[in-house]
Structure 1
Amino acid sequence: MVCCVVTTVVAAVVVLILTVKFIYHYQSGRCTSKTRLVGKTAIVTGASAGIGKETARDLAQRGARVILACRNVEKAERVAEDIKKTTGNTDVVVREVDTSDLTSVRKFAEDILRTETALHILVNNAGMSGMKKRKLTADGLEVTMATNHFGHFLLTNMLLGLLKTSAPSRVVNVSSVAHHFCSSLDVDDLNFEKNPFPKSLIVYGHSKLANILFTKELSEKLRGTDVTANSVHPGAVYTEIMWKGETNLIKSIFALLVWLMGKDEKLGAQTSIYLAVSEEVNNVTGKYYVDCKDTKVSAAAKDAGLAKKLWEASEQLVKLRPEERHY
């Protein structure tokens, strides 16, 4: 009798999981654009795994010159070779960058400006989950904020001049629905020096809120340049980021559920690809997309004043130099 009950419960759970997965996958957005990118150049940060890898693969399939901007060069080289084989596009290269290290970001950007004559797509995808304890980088920045926000803020600013001269061009910032977990952002304490260090998911949420606010202010600064900037929530996607940073029981359970019911990397990359190539968003800027649809953000993410203050604070914290400003 007990065995029958257990079997019934297990069967019910399996059916529930499969049903949720089917519905979630069915309603997930997909990029149907046939845009070709021959003669175009794209950079994808964090392209050695996950949705960054699949975004890079799609752009390469369309004929673009694709630069995989990654911290782990050896791993990225293996991915680059795989992309070349699966797409037939040999113009896929690897460049080293660690978005948590401002020196690395500057070196990468300077190399791009020295070697590339154009840049049409910049996908700021690299990221990590939040830490349980406050940890600072060599630049004195909280590591989650540095990896997810400050590094991309500096990189984008340094490449804006090239993006402008290559216009029409696009910036895509990978954010998250986790930005809803934060009702505000203290721009005077972005490294959590004054306030108690929050839970890891909240730290992550702060960095993702920063991504959207950065996108909002960037789009304002780029008005009239034919360079657009939009942000994206890729969905619940099972990737390596699930195990980056520090893990705990709740995070492990969440990772298991996403593995069972979430999107795979290719499906998770669809909205990033859509914003990078689709004709439907040719003149769209400053928006937040989920499943290839313009979607509402939190009240804090709508705050234009907060976005401007975040930009100013970020400039100070990354020590943005006059020659690195292109707006």
Structure 2
Amino acid sequence: MPLFSGRCYSNVKLAGKTAIVTGCNTGIGKETVLDFYKRGAKVIMACRNIDKAEAAKNDIEQTCKDLPEKGDLVVEKCDLTSLKSVREFSKKILDTEPYVNILVNNAGVMMCPKGVTEDGFETQFGTNHLGHFLLTMLLLPCIKNSTPARIVTVSSAAYIRNDINFDDLNYEKRNYNAGEAYSQSKLANILFSRELAAKLKAHNIEGVNTYSLHPGVIRTELGRHMDEMLFKGARRIVGALFYPFFKSPELGAQTTIYCAVDEKCANETGLYYSDCVVKNLNRRGLNDESAKKLWEKSVELVKLDFDPFTAVHSGVASK
């Protein structure tokens, strides 16, 4: 257990609320679903691998079988490496769900070998940022109807290492560096969350708050590519050296849960958290020019063809 780890102590119940968590068949995503389920929420598990998600769902239900006032768990296909999949998932949600009170952009890949998504984007930038950007924009008309609502994006302290290279987002002109690409995608998460808060305010949309966070260094499958990118046995060696500082998935999920439910941050938006408290961002995370440029570029890359801030939810919520 790490020397210090923040915890969410809120007893808030989520009965009647709907939450969406991406990438939640394992790790901190699964722990987040477990927490929301215990609080009584309907939790939509948006995952790429349906079989693994169903297994996680069954495990959570079995763990909580004797607990009262549980929520409901629903597994839906959502592959963040495919904008088509994100659009299909979002359409289904808009057609069937009257409200989305909590959106947790949790899914991610870390330090993977060079590759591209289905749409031709560098894997980490395309998955960690662009997939979640499109998902959030498509669901925003529904989220606006679900206030108070929160949009929580899981980033990383690794954002501090590199700026975003807008001239070569997909590493077509430079040598690929997995760590640098990961840092770029995590900085994008923070800038997106901050710019989203600014745009919501500019459109006089109240009751929708945004949060980005560093979950800590966690014992999960996220580092599974370390042996490929560094050397055979690297993951085991790093794990042994830094074990005292690693969090369990349960502890690693605490800041996500805090941002999603805790009363203490209910009136905060656009901020960055670690160990359940607000943390100061460095110059990269506070660069408003980069945030605006990233937003414009993201709209272009995902081919967003409507204004989510003025769009009206035309699904079940309006009927």
The question of whether the paired residues in 1 share the 8 Å contact of 2:111 and 2:229 is answered with: no
TM-superposition CA deviations, 1:283-325 (whole Å, max 9, x none): 1001000000100122111001110100000111111122666
2:279 to 282, 295, 302: 295
Structural mapping, 1:178-327, within 5 Å = 178-182=158-162, 184-197=163-176, 199-223=177-201, 224-244=205-225, 246-249=228-231, 250-259=234-243, 261-322=245-306, 326=310
SS in 1 for 2:284: helix
The question of whether the paired residues in 2 share the 8 Å contact of 1:101 and 1:138 is answered with: yes
1:83 to 52, 60, 64: 60
SS in 2 for 1:123: strand
Letter in 2 for 1:228: N
1:68 aligns to 2:48 (yes or no): no
Q: 2-side partners of 1:90 and 1:306: how far apart?
A: 40
SS in 2 for 1:322: coil
Q: CA deviation at 1:51?
A: 0.1
Q: CA deviation at 1:244?
A: 4.5
Q: 2-side partners of 1:258 and 1:59: how far apart?
A: 30
Match of 1:38 in 2: 15
The question of whether the paired residues in 2 share the 8 Å contact of 1:232 and 1:272 is answered with: yes
Q: CA deviation at 1:262?
A: 0.7
* Alpha-carbon RMSD: 1.7
Q: 1:187 to 1:261 in 2, by over 3 A?
A: same
Letter in 1 for 2:211: N
The question of whether the paired residues in 1 share the 8 Å contact of 2:41 and 2:71 is answered with: no
Alignment coverage as a number of residue pairs = 301
Letter in 2 for 1:137: T
Q: CA deviation at 1:36?
A: 0.3
TM-superposition CA deviations, 1:204-233 (whole Å, max 9, x none): 111000000000101111124210001010
Letter in 2 for 1:306: S
The question of whether the paired residues in 2 share the 8 Å contact of 1:38 and 1:63 is answered with: yes
SS in 1 for 2:210: strand
Percent identity among equivalent residues? 46
Q: 1:326 to 1:92 in 2, by over 3 A?
A: farther
Letter in 2 for 1:70: C
The question of whether the paired residues in 1 share the 8 Å contact of 2:161 and 2:180 is answered with: yes
Runs of 4+ deviating beyond 3 Å: 244-247, 255-261, 323-327
Q: 1-side partners of 2:242 and 2:34: how far apart?
A: 23
Match of 1:126 in 2: 107
Letter in 2 for 1:234: P
Match of 1:162 in 2: 142
Match of 2:133 in 1: 153
Q: 1-side partners of 2:292 and 2:238: how far apart?
A: 34
The question of whether the paired residues in 2 share the 8 Å contact of 1:33 and 1:278 is answered with: yes
Letter in 1 for 2:290: L
Give the unaligned 5+ runs of structure 2: 312-319
SS in 2 for 1:54: helix
Q: 1-side partners of 2:185 and 2:209: how far apart?
A: 21
The question of whether the paired residues in 1 share the 8 Å contact of 2:103 and 2:151 is answered with: yes
Q: 2-side partners of 1:272 and 1:221: how far apart?
A: 22
The question of whether the paired residues in 2 share the 8 Å contact of 1:179 and 1:298 is answered with: no
Q: CA deviation at 1:81?
A: 1.3
SS in 2 for 1:118: coil
Give the unaligned 5+ runs of structure 1: 1-20
Q: CA deviation at 1:83?
A: 1.5
1:57 aligns to 2:38 (yes or no): no
Is the radius of gyration larger for structure 1 or structure 2? 1
SS in 2 for 1:302: coil
